[in-house]
Amino acid sequence: MGGERSPERVLIVLHRPIPDPVQADIRHKFSDAEVTFYKSEQGVPVPPELYHRATVLVTFASLPDLKDAHNIKLIHTFSAGLDHLSQHPILRESDVHITTSSGIHGPPIAEWTVMNWLVSSRKYVQTYEAQKAHDWQDKTGKIGEMHDQVGKKVGILGYGSIGRQIGRVSQALGMTVHAHTASPRPTPESRHDNGYIVPGTGDPDGSIPASWHHGTDRESIRKFLAIGLDHLVISLPLTPQTTHLLSAEEIAILSDNCHHHASKPYVTNISRGKVINQKDLIDALRSGALGGAALDVTDPEPLPKEDPLWDAPNVQISPHVSSHGKEYFPRSLDILRVNLGRLAKGEPLINDYKRDKGY
């Protein structure tokens, strides 16, 4: 009779209050577990006795000291990338399973991406300002300034879950999609998405791209940028190898090989600000080497009020909010729910952090 498992003790640490209805929904979703909620305060350590009791920790960035993690079997993060935690002893010196929320960000970030493309290509800001001024502008002068996305080539640097959903909506707009991954994907099976997928989204079998490219060295990136892209979407984790991966030389290659020579490439960054050399990006926007940029991430964050990026031409900046939405936490916790079942059966976990790769 001793085969029954003790319920998992799930500790959810967030820096914001969790409304009672949301707490009730989470307790229902994890009815077989003992769930504890804790609102953390900036600069104030989480009481170690909470960590001592927990077997599963769910958090953005609140990790225990190694000595306080002796009962923890799994840490699930609300983030997709873990660069902000990569130096923590839990990641560097323990074998505790760490899982990420990779896979949940695709739908909102793809919508954010396309929104910015269309705001730029359809000259929406001009229309909006004219509306506020009650000005019915003469339309004849706008015809040559606007364009659509049909036939444009979009290169997605980092064809993970976010990149795949961007690829899906890009294809729906009539664009051709070209994928770049770190590792080679030479077979149909190798192109499958094995991570968490929001139902009805993404590119599960990897059939959307017209071409696949790979490599982590600068030369392979440059070859990808030279294939004649109208759009470059950056969807990479931040690692030592990807820091300032795109600088003046890479931007020049992208610009010089643009598919539609009447307009210069448009860069979208939804990964981390440090992937691009920001000074070189500003110079390229000012010189016209780039037609524009949509940036949900900057270097640093928050972007200082006096930073010249704010006033660069044809740039659209948002404060790292492209993934936000009321669906965020339920989807993240769906990953945890699946993984608790896998953990009990000794099966491989979805979105298991690989310490040797840094993601």
- The string of pLDDT tens digits covering residues 248-277 is 999 999 999 997 666 899 999 999 999 999
Strand residue runs (E) in 55-140 = 56-59, 74-77, 97-99
Same domain, 312 and 286: yes
What pLDDT is attached to residue 1? 43
Would residue 352 count as lying in a domain? no
User: What 3-state class would DSSP assign to 5?
Assistant: coil
Domain endpoint, select from 317, 337, 354: 317
Q: Which residues of the chain have pLDDT under 50?
A: 1-2
Same domain, 215 and 304: yes
Q: Are 196 and 104 in contact (CB under 8 A)?
A: yes
Q: Which of 326, 276, 338, 274 is nearest to 301 (CA)?
A: 274
Within-domain flag for 162: yes
Confirm whether 305 is domain-assigned: yes
Q: Are residues 152 and 165 in the same domain?
A: yes
Residue 100 and residue 110 in one domain: no
Q: Which domain holds residue 175?
A: 106-317
The verdict on residue 166 lying in a domain is yes
Q: State the total domains in the chain.
A: 2
Phi-psi region for residue 358, left (φ > 0), alpha (ψ -120 to 50) or beta? left
Question: pLDDT at position 140, please?
Answer: 64
Residue 73 lies in a domain: yes
**Tokens standing for 349?**
């976990």
Are 163 and 310 in a shared domain? yes
pLDDT number for residue 262? 67
Q: Is residue 296 part of a domain?
A: yes
Give Dmax over CA atoms of the chain in angstroms: 82
**What span, in angstroms and rounded, lies between the C-alpha atoms of 301 and 319?**
8
Residues 77 and 137 in one domain: no
Phi, psi for 90 (deg, rounded to 5): -60, -40
Claim to verify: residue 146 and residue 81 sit in the same structural domain: no
Question: Do 88 and 137 have their domain in common?
Answer: no
Q: Are residues 98 and 124 in the same domain?
A: no
